[in-house]
Amino acid sequence: MDIFKAQNIRKQFGNTIALNEVSVNVPEGSIYGLLGPNGAGKTTLIRIINQILAPDKGELYFYNRKLKSDDIFQIGYLPEERGLYKKMKVGEQALYLAQLKGVSKKEALARLKYWFQKFEIQAWWNKKIEELSKGMQQKIQFIITILHEPALIIFDEPFSGFDPINTKLLKKEVLNLREKGATIIFSTHDMSSVEELCDHITLINKSKTILEGKINDIRNAYKSNTFKIGYKGNPEKLKNLLDGDFELIEHSTKDNTNYAKIKVNRLLRKNELLYLLIPEIQITSFNELLPSMNEIFIKVVEKSQDVTN
């Protein structure tokens, strides 16, 4: 079941169209990547989901019914532009914002104690936000975002300002949230995080959806029939086996093992390539290379720009 759906959303600011008939279906229990270059329309869509903005056209659904104003209590939002009160103490602010989301003071204190202990930040309770680094502020805002245990959580560039250790920590918590039943919309420019975390994606460029689907399906759809082969034997034998149907893209040797990257220039099943190679060389590894989401992102965005220019 889809926990959230946006159908044919259109939003215009003056002469600028921010979203043009954009639709998104977010399956319950998934981590859904909302991607696109700067100015594509992602933040506008996120603000519409959070009812900060209203669409000019289109419908929003939450659990298969139209989105209502009080559904905001079931949504958590970590914006890219951080919004904590600089002069306010950490604990006081976290407690206040939790109560705004409908959590009782007693329950909020208990949940905050759990998270502050988990992140080992108990000493921050009486510090002012302005005394904390950007990464430390981000941890506090992460906790505030999820403290009311929302069904749908929206993270906009959640790892910005984090070092690799804290990024790993936050990624683990994002996965834990999904395991506990939360659905997550995840907006980022970090394509490695998309591959690591997301199940589905929608890619928006110049206000329009240009790509959507399951990560694995998309990577398979854009594969280039390229294989990486580890083998032992004379490299010349391999090269002599390759005709016009095969292109040797790259070759290297490491620890007495040869590695070749081969592109097949016609439709060919994996076992056919193996059938060709096995009699002549000793194969130690054989993998089809799928394009990264970063490669696909660049290719699809550039193609869409060529079409509109």
Residue 303 lies in a domain: no
pLDDT interval class at 96 (50, 70, 90): very high
Find where tokens 């951080």 sit.
82
Query: What pLDDT was estimated at residue 240?
Result: 83
pLDDT tens profile 207-254? 999 999 999 999 999 988 899 999 998 888 888 877 777 888 999 999
Which of 179, 205, 220 terminates a domain? The answer is 220
Question: Structure pTM?
Answer: 0.87
Q: Residue 11 — very low, low, confident or very high, per pLDDT cuts 50/70/90?
A: very high
Question: Containing domain of residue 215, as a range?
Answer: 2-220
Domain harbouring 245, CATH code: 3.30.70
Give the residue among 284, 288, 270, 287 at the shortest CA–CA distance from 233: 284
Same domain, 117 and 241: no
Residue 130 lies inside a defined structural domain of this protein:
yes
Residue 105 has pLDDT above 90, yes or no: yes
Q: What is the mean pLDDT of the chain?
A: 91
Whether residue 228 sits in one domain with residue 115: no
Residue-wise pLDDT tens digits, 157-199: 888 878 889 899 999 999 999 999 999 999 988 898 999 999 9
